[in-house]
Structure formats: structure tokens, C-alpha cells
Amino acid sequence: MLGLSLTTLISRVITLVIAFTVHEFSHALAADQLGDDTPRLQGRLTLNPLVHLDPIGSLMLVIAGFGWARPVQINPYVIQRRHPAGLMIVAAAGPFSNLLLAIIATIPVRAGLISVTSSSFISQFFIEFIWINLILLFFNLLPIFPLDGEKILDFFLPPRGQDVLRQIRPYGMYILMGLIILGSFGSFDILGLVVMKPAMSLMRLLVL
């Protein structure tokens, strides 16, 4: 947290509350629409951030730019019985919500109401809001368990590819942590390549 300006810190805290809450609510809503009442019974079908935020994951987002919320629990059997692509739809709902939030936040920028070159708090907040939501979009699309991208990829893979994903699934968290650590030292910044670069490209497209 050291080195962050007060403006950046406040912007990130507000952003993570909104982004994580909407992300997890979107998972819960998609599952509910597909006939799974598990999120509703567990109180996750709400926009109350206290229900969705994970303290450590939120702190990591503020400090490192990567983080997580409390995952929404679902019943995959109920969802797949309702729709063959149900699990993929539920998984994709989270990243899609972050993309939607980023696009909505660009509206006042594109309308000329907010300047991206201004040093005002409101301008800095909107830039931070768009940026973090785009990071969450691409980070969650990584095909590594427990991220949403793994479930999305699983739907499109043939059975043999799905078997490979299941075999490496127990090691997903270790793979993620390894990539984050390697990237922090600059020796093998795969996250910078597949998360930061596309996020920056999309941000330029949205706000410039």
C-alpha cells in the first residue's frame, strides 16, 4: 500500500467494492436464471458488497492490482440439466459484467464530461475504475482454475482437452501464484502479456 497516492487508494477501494460485488452478483444471477437456487439460498443474490468481498483478495487488488472476491457456490448438476452450456454461461457472466462496467464508465469520458488528462479526483477515479475492471476482465478469462476462464475453455474443448484441464485443476492456485511471482521479478511476465497488454489496448480503444 506504500507508494500509492491517497487518490489512487480511495479510487481502488471504491472500484473493488463495485467491481467485485457486481462480478459475483452476476454469477449468482446467471445461476439463478438457470434454475439453481443455491446462490439465492446462501444470500448471494444481492448487491450488498459485505456478502461478496474477501478481505485478503480485496487487499491484494488494492496493493498489487490482482485480487478476488468470495466465489459464488453453485450446483453444476442443476445448471447443466437446464442448459448444456450453463456452467460456461455462469462463468462468463462475471467477466462480462466487468466489461460492461468499464464500458458504462467510458460514457461520460467519450461525451467529453470527464477529461482523462485532468488531475481531478473524479477524472482519476473514472480512469482507475475503467482500468481495474478491464484487468479483472482479462485476469478472470485466464484458463486456470479457479478463474472463470477455465470453465469457459472447458466447454469448448473436446473430451481429451477437458481431461487435461481436470488433471491440472488441483494445481491451479500454485500456477497462478507462480505466474504472479515470476511477473513481479520481470523474468517471465506472462500476466503482463495476456492481462495488462490487452487491458491497455482495450482501454485506449474505449477512452481515446
Instruction: Output the DSSP codes for 147-169.
Output: SHHHHHHHHHS-HHHHHHHHHHG
Cell numbers describing residue 78: 442443476
Query: Is the CB of residue 104 less than 8 Å from the CB of residue 97?
Result: no
Q: Residue ranges of the domains in the chain? A: 6-207
Query: Using one digit for the tens of pLDDT, what is the confidence trace for 107-152?
Result: 999 998 998 888 888 998 999 999 999 999 999 999 999 999 999 9
Residues sharing a CB contact under 8 Å with residue 86, sequence separation 6 or more, in sequence order: 34, 76, 79, 80
Query: Using one digit for the tens of pLDDT, what is the confidence trace for 2-17?
Result: 456 778 888 888 888 8
Alpha-carbon distance values, 65 to 68, 84, 165, 167 (Å) = 10, 34, 26, 29
Catalytic residue among 23, 24, 136, 176: 24
Q: Is 128 a catalytic residue?
A: no
| Straight-line distance from the first to the last Cα atom of the chain, in angstroms, rounded to the nearest whole number | 29
Amino acid at 87: L
Beta bridge partners of 69: 53
pTM: 0.90
